[in-house]
Structure formats: C-alpha cells, structure tokens
Amino acid sequence: MRIIIFGPQGSGKGTYASRLSPLLGIPHIATGDLLRAARDDKEYGQKIRQYQDSGALVPDDIVLKILKKRLDQPDAKRGFILDGYPRNAEQAKELDKITTLDAVINLVVPEWVLLQRLSTRVQCKNCGEIFNLRTLPPKKPGICDKCGGPLFQRDDDKPEAIKKRLEIYYQMSAPLIKHYRDKGLVIDVECNSPDIPPEIIVNKIMDLLRTFKKVGGQGKQSDEDGHS
C-alpha cells in the first residue's frame, strides 16, 4: 500500500508509522530523515546544507526530487508510508504527478492531549529519535535507545510554542485533508487520551486499513477511541 500519515505535532505519526512499516512490509519514509541523509547527496547535498545551515526551508522542487529518488528505490516499489510530506496543497499536486496513493491516515487528536504529549517529549541530539517520558520513555533516563546519544527537550515543545505550531498546522492541513478526502482516500483515526499505548492505535489503524481496502478505498470515519 502507498500511504500518507497526517497529524499535528504530538499526534504520534512517526511512532505509529515506524510500527506500521514492518507489519505492512513497506518502508517508513520521513522527509525530515530523508533531507538529513541527503546532506551527503552528490547532486543536491551542498544546496540542502546551505538552506538548512542558514535556517531556511529547503525549496519544494529539491524536496520533491529527493523524495522521487527515494520512491524509485526497490524497497518502495511495493509501497511506502510517507510522513512529513506533503505539507501544502502545491506539494500534494506535485506528489500526485509522481505516484498514486491507496490511503491517507489522518490522526485526529484533541489539543489538550497534544499539549500533554509534547510537554513530555524529548529528542536525541544525535539521531533525532523521539521519546515520551510519559508514554514511551527511553530504557535509560536521558539516553537514546537507538544510538546512545543525549536526550533533550526542544524549545518548540513548550506550551506557548506548541499552541502556535498547532495553529499553523491546522491552517495548512485543512486544504490538504480536503484534497485527499475529495479523492475518497482519508481514514480518520481518533485518539482522545494521552495514555493509550502506541500498539493499541497501530492495531486499530491496521483494522481500519483492512476494512478500507475491502470496501474499495472509500474513507471510513473511526469512533472517538479509534475503533471502526
């Protein structure tokens, strides 16, 4: 399956996507990770480093070219879970030109849940892996399970910054969700508690995907606990 996973900061899209990937047998492609890796790309690496080191966003045309190269790799031929792209309507139109999609998972999470999750979120300084001190703590306090690097809390994971980021996300995501809902691709998955283990939501997403596939790809609204 070729899937996009959407959700605001703190909705768990990266966590869920990384767990869905082995279950579905398709790669989880996070554009943030893709661009970090592409800093060493022979063709685009220098330009990417210049934009990122100056604090500027990498232009859409470069992001799309890097993404297309990744989607052309053998492991993505059977499908993929795309996380972090598209971020605007123009990117969605460009993505439509290079691939077709089977489903769009839209994580619907109340703001109070997002605030609780993000305020306890920490990230590895070295590899960028994300943990949650409340729901997904590292095995050793302050140490990344993946690479052993130090964990820290980002400034934009503090309450006032979180609210501002959420406002921007909702403004940008509304036309995107409409774009894919009009195509009959959206599966809404609701989570109304900060304490639901990731595996519970992942299992519900899997159930919804199976149902979605059987009924021919018409978006199906979940109930407030994530059940179909």
Active site residues per annotation? 13, 87, 121, 154, 165
The tokens for 66 are: 């890097």
| Residue 89: closest CA among 217, 215, 177, 191 | 177
CA distance 129 to 204: 24
Between the two ends of the chain, the Cα-to-Cα distance in Å is 19
Residue pointed to by tokens 């992942």: 202
Residue 131: count other Cβ atoms within 10 Å of its Cβ: 22
Alpha carbons 171 and 28: distance in angstroms, whole number: 25
Contact assessment for residue 102 and residue 208, using Cβ atoms and an 8 Å cutoff: no
DSSP at 27: -
- Render 45-101 in DSSP notation, one character per residue: HHHHHHHHHTTPPPPHHHHHHHHHHHHTSGGGSS-EEEES---SHHHHHHHHHH---
